Chain A
Amino acid sequence: MGLVALVVGLPFAGALIGIFAGRRAAPYLAVIPTGAALLISAWLAYAQAAAGPREATLTLVETGSVPISVSLGLDGLSALVGVLVTVVATAVQTYSIGYMRQEPRYASYAAFISLFTSAMLLVVHAADLLVLYVGWEVMGFCSYALIGHFWEDRANSRAAIKAFLVTRLGDVGFLFGIFVLGISAGSFRIGDVLAAVPAMSPGTLVAATLLLVAGVAGKSAQVPLHTWLPDAMAGPTPISALIHAATMVAAGIFIVARLYPAFVAAPPTLDLLAVLAALGMLGAALAALAADDLKRVLAYSTVSQLAYMAAGLAAGTRDGAVFHLLTHGAFKALLFLCAGAVIHAVGSNLMTDMGGLRRGLPVTFPAMTIGFAALMGLPPASGFFSKDVIIAVTEHTAGGEGAPLTIWIAWLVYGVALVTVAVTAAYSTRAWLRTFFGVRRPDLAAHEGPASMVVPIAVLAVPALLLGFAGLPFAGLRPDLPSSLLSVGASLAGAVVVWTAWRRDPESDPARVLGPLRPAAEQAFYVDRAYHALFVRPVAALARLTVRADDRVVDGAVRGSGRTAVGAGGLLRRLQAGNAQAYVTGVLAGVLIITVGVVVLR
């Protein structure tokens, strides 16, 4: 288990040292610990297959209630996701050396990536829910720091705050969900909690899992807490690759997979998860079809693809969802790194400024083509296999087999999943055509970046293309012929529609195929504006009201009592004006009253 601790600890140490080390040492401190963690993770994944799950506890922290056990574990799930995280993190760190070579604040940037990686690895390997929560929240902060890396621009700062706050809102629910599970099980250890699930009442399980879903929706950018992810594009592009592929958004799906027995025992939660997934899947895909910013297209596609994973979990295939998590991690990281290379070459995020780039970018073009093919689910790219597993399972669930999902919800998810395949193909084709084909801007001399950028792209292209075949030896992860024919057909249909529109007029945006839906899709269905009106403005108004009330009412009462005391003192002062005659009169009056009182009361 020392090796697992090392996997988590190495990037953490890299971050801690890196933030104090100078600019020159920073690249080494960024890549070497992460790379070492990658090698160890790969070894662990290999060894784990033979040795089986393990767990070790460092110490038990007494809290006065259920204790926290500081423990790490290793099983098939954590070994696989651990490899994904370290692979992507190493690629991102390497790529950043080239991408950020002009950046004066590179050292802190790289240190935060290392911290981010370490936090995600803690989530992956934690064997105790509260230890997991530590990693879970630290990721939120790292995303804040990295999204806001270019903080000179206020918009980036706002995007960073939004990412932190929206995910934190979900995390409050997540923490309460941990409380429910931990107190009912009498332990926060994941093993103990899962062992206690059969003994828990359905009400407890539904409450716990619903609360957990709040956190999952926040981290994995599911409706209704998805709005931070598209804005998170404010960060440097390699950060997007990190957030979208390996950390943060993967954590939400991971935790459902980790606690899957609890979710399976709570059918209402699965229904909710499925409905949210259906909404997010299609809505985000439509928004991606309308967006002009290349990174935003990819961001919305992440929301949509994560919804596929959530749907797979709801429909009863943990393995399928994790499979898609892995392939998506590979091809989405690839897509973002390619997008970074494109943006690096063009100097703009907007697809309007791009076009005809396939000549200048001999590595990026084929690599990104592979990425888009995987995203569209075209065989033999990896996305085809994993997405098909999920679609096939939702189909079976709709047919009444498998998970305890309500039938109409299963049908809804299945239908939406197929439609979304077509929309996904449409926006992928649109982005691909508008970036690499058509007329090239005359002033542009696009060329590839340095080797540190090109090599990670080339390396990631391999799993993005081939990882799908890794599922073939396992019964649950093989493509299902009728369903895969249907989804490939849907995908081709979507691509053809956009291609036809583009052929007719390569100068204009094929997003026009959206028709009357286009303005709404461009605004991502006005969710941001609604949230602003519903939450942000009322809270701000309430805050101003509080300050006024604090001054006028609460402190007003205090000052008022002070004034009353001074006033009363003023009245009493009049009695003591130094007039001896008045004093003697007072004394005599007192004597008189006492005498009368004594006589009368006797």
Chain B
Amino acid sequence: MIPVLLVTVPLLAAAGLLVPAARRVVRGYGLAVSGLVLGLSIALAATFDYARPAAVQAEVDVAWTPGLDLRFHLGVDGISLPLVVLTALLTALCFVYLAGRPSRRMRALTVALLVLEAGMLGTFVALDLLLFFVFFEVVLVPMYFVIAVWGGPGRRAAAVKFILYTLLGSAVLLLGLLLIWAQTGTLDMVDLARTHGSGMSRGAQILAFVAVAGGLAVKAPMWPLHTWLPDAHTEAPTVGSVLLAGVLLKMGTYGLARVAVPVLPQGAEAVAPWLGAFAVIGIVYGSLACLAQRDLKRMIAFSSVGHMGFVLLGFATLTPVGMNAALFGNVAHGLITGLLFFLAGGVKDRYGTSDMTRLGGGMLGRLPYLGSLLTFAAVASLGLPGLAGFWGEMLALLGAFSPGAGLSRPLYLVFMAIGGLGTVLTAAYFLVMLSRVTHGRPDARWRDARLPDVTGYELAAWSPLVALTLVIGLWPKSLLLVTDPAVRVLLGVVP
């Protein structure tokens, strides 16, 4: 029952805000609703049976459109549970952040964010292909408005590019899903995953995989389909960037784990080397692009291209360890990049710019707490062991070291080597950024500016991310425990 509530509570709450009388309570409203949803997701995690994480739990399965054999089928397993909690957490933290720094047109923003939350959670709990697609699309509309209304100076163009590009991806995705339906006669994701694509010819699988993975790759984003992302992230308001990076990108990779790889194994095997190649190109390309960025927000946006490259590389190995890596990387990237965007937003709020040359440097001297948090987040993002970012990258490389059966080992060794080089470049751009922004002496132009250090609201919004980054980094078993058995079942590998 909880999955239904996860979707309906934010939707109904958003609808409730349309009542004119709600105008006055708006500030605490979003916080309360998202807190409730977070509580629900924690209740879901608490009641989850960790002895059998591969099984779908808290399942709801009722007929929806019987004529088309569509079912309202929701549930969670080890693959989706971490993402559900992550989504609920990040949304709630966004509202905490907004409570401390109210935005203009707060009511509209709250509605948009709540609808967004419903769509995001729905995507992760849907177990029917068409339902999955519907939620996947629901997300686009509120995000479009978040960027277009509350964004920076170039928001219109960025928002249009975002929605057109991702809609194009969705169209391709829908074609792939329909092809699967036409071939197998079912839309039930659990059934489809169980049969591992039996009943589909190799050619059909390849075609369907290219369409599905191609559509999802836009969202992930995979190089070279990434160019909507830097603009969208840079122009989006802080909460938009956080949810965009923290959750929306994960919907693409989640789809790969849930639909593309398990349902179309032969297609995956044929296309995986290409996926791997694009992934490692993305890693190096993203890192190089970051190295030459001048804008902090844009740099963090590009860093997502590199990090999601590791996630895609994990999938491309078609091994349990690679899948675990991808799912781990998803959660870690959500936490860390979410934090990074929060911090970048904090910087922009104070200095009025996120241009690194204008910022000057010396933040550790001027704003020691903000500077320290930025250092922490950057170091976590560059994959320091003991923090969350490391395990996903390390396991993806380990997967590439011995890829799945039927994949060319030498090719994947090359991928691994390039990926390893990418980790050095990643460290390079983050350290250069830290050096430019946090080290050195404060620039003279900020001498008389009033720059308050981290506020209580900000601390409340950020410290859960810091704590989780530490906990998952020091105790990776907390996530692998849930994902590993589920991944083995999805790949048809009996432990």
Contact = CB atoms under 8 A, between A and B. Distances in A.
A539 B227 CA distance: 22
Contacts of A323: none
Interface in A555-580: 555, 558, 562
Contacts of B432: 161
B101 to A, nearest CB: 25
A141 B477 contact: no
B164 interface: yes
Interface residues of A, number: 49
A165 B476 CA distance: 25
B293 A562 contact: no
A61 B289 contact: no
Contacts of B477: 59, 61-62, 70
A164 interface: yes
B324 A63 contact: yes
Contacts of A172: 420-421, 423-424
A164 B402 CA distance: 28
Interface string B300-332: 000000000000000000011111100000000
Given A144-B431, A154-B440, A64 B320 contact: yes
Contact of B416 (A66, A176, A542): A176
Judged by DSSP, the binding face of A is helix
B401 A64 contact: no
A61 B328 CA distance: 13
Contacts of B350: none
A137 B402 CA distance: 23
Interface stretch (A358-366, A440-448, A543-551): A543-551
Interface in A63-110: 63-66, 68, 70
Contacts of B441: 152
Contact of A183 (B291, B322, B402, B431): B402
Given A65-B321, A543-B291, A151 B440 contact: yes
B439 interface: yes
Contacts of A169: 424
Interface in A155-173: 156-158, 160-161, 164-165, 168-169, 172-173
B401 A183 contact: yes
A492 interface: no
A415 B427 CA distance: 40
Interface in B318-362: 319-324, 362
A169 B487 CA distance: 32
Contact of B401 (A148, A160, A168, A179): A179
Given A144-B431, A165-B427, A133 B224 contact: no
Interface in B283-299: 285, 288-293
B397 interface: yes
A160 B384 CA distance: 16
B431 A62 contact: no
Nearest to B432: A161
Nearest to A556: B227
B488 A64 contact: yes
A390 to B, nearest CB: 32
A61 B476 contact: yes
Interface residues of B, number: 58
Contact of B384 (A68, A137, A157, A542): A137
Contacts of B319: 64-65
Nearest to A133: B385
A63 B484 contact: yes
A5 interface: no
Contacts, number: 139
B476 A148 contact: no
B321 A63 contact: yes
Given A65-B398, A137-B385, A546 B440 contact: no
B222 to A, nearest CB: 12
B435 interface: yes
Contacts of A544: 292
Nearest to B284: A546
Contact of A554 (B224, B288, B292, B384): B224
Contacts of B289: 543, 546-547, 550
B438 interface: yes
A565 to B, nearest CB: 9
Contacts of B6: none
B165 interface: yes
A504 B390 CA distance: 59
A514 interface: no
A547 B287 CA distance: 10
A70 B481 CA distance: 14
Contacts of B397: 175-176, 179
B11 interface: no
B401 A176 contact: yes
Contacts of B285: 546, 550
A25 interface: no
Given A65-B402, A138-B384, A168 B480 contact: no
Nearest to B324: A64
A179 B409 CA distance: 14
A173 B424 CA distance: 11
A225 to B, nearest CB: 12
A469 B366 CA distance: 53
B227 A558 contact: yes
Contacts of A136: 385
A152 B320 contact: no
Contacts of B227: 550, 554-555, 558
B377 interface: no
B154 interface: no
A152 B440 contact: yes
A539 B435 contact: no
B453 to A, nearest CB: 15
Contacts of B398: 63, 65-66, 179
A584 interface: no
A593 interface: no
Contacts of A156: 439
Contacts of B379: 141
B440 A157 contact: yes
Contacts of B386: 134, 137-138
A62 B488 CA distance: 11
- Among B289, B395, B416, max chain A CB count under 10 A is at B289
A141 B226 CA distance: 31
Interface string B389-429: 01000110111011000000000000011001101110110
A199 interface: no
Contacts of B228: 558
B365 interface: yes
Contacts of B290: 543
A154 B360 CA distance: 12
Contacts of B425: 539
Nearest to A173: B420
A552 to B, nearest CB: 11
Interface string B151-182: 00000000001001100000000000000000
A103 to B, nearest CB: 14
A543 B484 contact: no
Nearest to A70: B477
B427 A164 contact: yes
B439 A547 contact: no
B364 interface: yes
A185 to B, nearest CB: 13
Nearest to A180: B401
Nearest to A134: B385
Contacts of B440: 151-152, 154, 157
A173 B397 CA distance: 12
A601 interface: no
Q: Which 6 A-B pairs have the closest CB atoms?
A: A64-B320, A64-B321, A65-B321, A543-B291, A543-B292, A134-B385
6 contacts: A59-B477, A63-B324, A151-B440, A157-B439, A176-B420, A543-B288
Given A64-B320, A175-B394, 17 more contacts: A62-B481, A64-B319, A64-B488, A68-B476, A134-B390, A137-B384, A152-B440, A154-B440, A161-B432, A161-B435, A168-B427, A169-B424, A179-B398, A539-B288, A540-B291, A554-B224, A558-B161
